[in-house]
Amino acid sequence: MTRSDLVEALAARFAQLGQRDAELAVKAILEAMVEALMQGQRIEIRGFGSFSVNHRPARMGRNPRSGESVAIPDKRVPHFKPGKALREQVDAAPRSGASG
C-alpha cells in the first residue's frame, strides 16, 4: 500500500471527507509522526504498534570492492515494533502465494 492508496482508502471510507481533505489528513499525521521521532519521542498506537528511534553506534565496515576498511559513523534510525493485536491479525490472515 502506498501513500496514495492510503489517501484513497481514507476518502472512500469517509464519504464526507473529500480526496483533498484525506490527503491533508494523511500528510498532517505523517508530519506529526516524523517530528516526534526527530525529537527522539516514542509513538505508541495501541493495538497497532510503536515507533521509536534506535541508536546505531559507529563501527568499522569494509568496502566490498576494494576490501579496505571504512569508518561508518553512528546514526539514529527509526524502528517499528508491531503490537500484539497487529501480529495476531497478520498471522491469522490467509497467506498469499507471493510470500510466506
pLDDT by residue for the chain (100 residues), tens only, comes to: 999 999 999 999 998 989 999 999 999 999 999 999 999 999 999 999 999 999 999 999 999 999 999 999 999 999 999 999 999 999 999 987 665 5
What's the confidence (pLDDT) of residue 99?
58
Segment (H or E) for 53: strand 49-56
Same domain for 29 and 51?
no
Do 65 and 84 belong together in one domain? yes
CB-based burial label for 20 (10 Å; 0-12, 13-18, 19+): exposed
**Is the entire prediction scored with pTM above 0.85?**
no
Q: What cell was used for 12?
A: 472512500
The DSSP 8-state label assigned to residue 97 in this structure reads: S
- Provide the grid cell at 70: 571504512
Residue 37 lies in a domain: yes
Check residue 95 and give its pLDDT: 86
Q: How many domains does the chain have?
A: 2
